[in-house]
Amino acid sequence: MSAVADWSAQLAAWAIPEEILAAAPESPWVLPRAVFERRVDRHLAEPGTPTHRAVLDALGEGGTVLDVGAGAGAASLPCAAAITGITAVDTDAGLLAAFAERARALSLPYRTVQGRWPEVAAQVEPVDVVVCGNVLFNVADLPPFVRALEEHAGSRIVLETAAVHPLTSLNPLWRHFHGIDRPDGPTADDAVAALRELGVVPEVIRWHKPPFPEHARFEELVDVTRRRLCLPVERAGEVADALTGLGVDRGVPPDLGSSGRAMVTLLWSPARSR
């Protein structure tokens, strides 16, 4: 099997078993917007991740940016000092509104496009630098996604991703509550292999995020985790106990199911610039 096909097959294996999904009282596809907003605000106060540095290095004295899967702007807005204009693409209208609010506060010329990349790529003008943060594990069909990134980047593509599939942090809980084993891949290394197969040889920067309370309260983490596990509200106490048993710090509640602390930033120039 090719690396690109293997990537797609590993992502497909994450589908929730139909009998569990059918019995879920609420959708397990939880999007905790407050986590994304808290993340960008922290980075605005303390910028300087390898992803931010890569974007700033690529922009030099200034330039335009496209943020694909922008969320509230954690991967791009902390680089506002060097950005002359920015376009944010995301499927979620609420997160795009959060992005717009922060862009206005930074006096940054911006545009938002709601939709999924690359389906909305034709609505977006080329820019100097394309940044894409923590989206890759949602992309089963890599070739058109990557091709559209390259078609829109003038000089550089900066792609941030977790080192391992974010949902692996929930695997012990799936085993505990449902008695099933979930996948443990793909990984960022699998992504690099697939990119190489597509003719992209990225620079790979590995780094770690410091611990940070992604949820304001432990109870928020419990509720989000419960829904992700397809469990009813009556079992929230059991979920809380299970999280504590995993060693989750109640004072610094992470967002299990979001990117973990081990991160990878991938950098490359579009094909026409190589």
Look up residue 4 and give its two tokens: 């690109």
pLDDT of residue 18: 96
CA–CA dist 22, 217 (Å, integer): 29
Contact 133, 43 (CB under 8 A): no
Task: Describe the chain by its helix, strand, coil percentages, rounded to 5.
Answer: 45, 20, 35
Look up residue 53 and give its two tokens: 């540095």
CA–CA dist 29, 21 (Å, integer): 11
Percentage of residues of the chain with pLDDT beyond 70: 99
Look up residue 88 and give its two tokens: 């944010």
**Which residues sit opposite 114 in a β-bridge?**
90
Read off the pTM. 0.95
CATH class, domain 3-165+183-216+258-269, is alpha beta
Task: Give the model confidence (pLDDT) of 124-170 as tens digits.
Answer: 999 999 999 999 999 999 999 999 999 999 999 999 999 999 999 99
Which residues make Cβ contacts (< 8 Å) with residue 87, sequence separation at least 6?
64, 65, 66, 67, 110, 111, 112, 113, 124, 125, 127
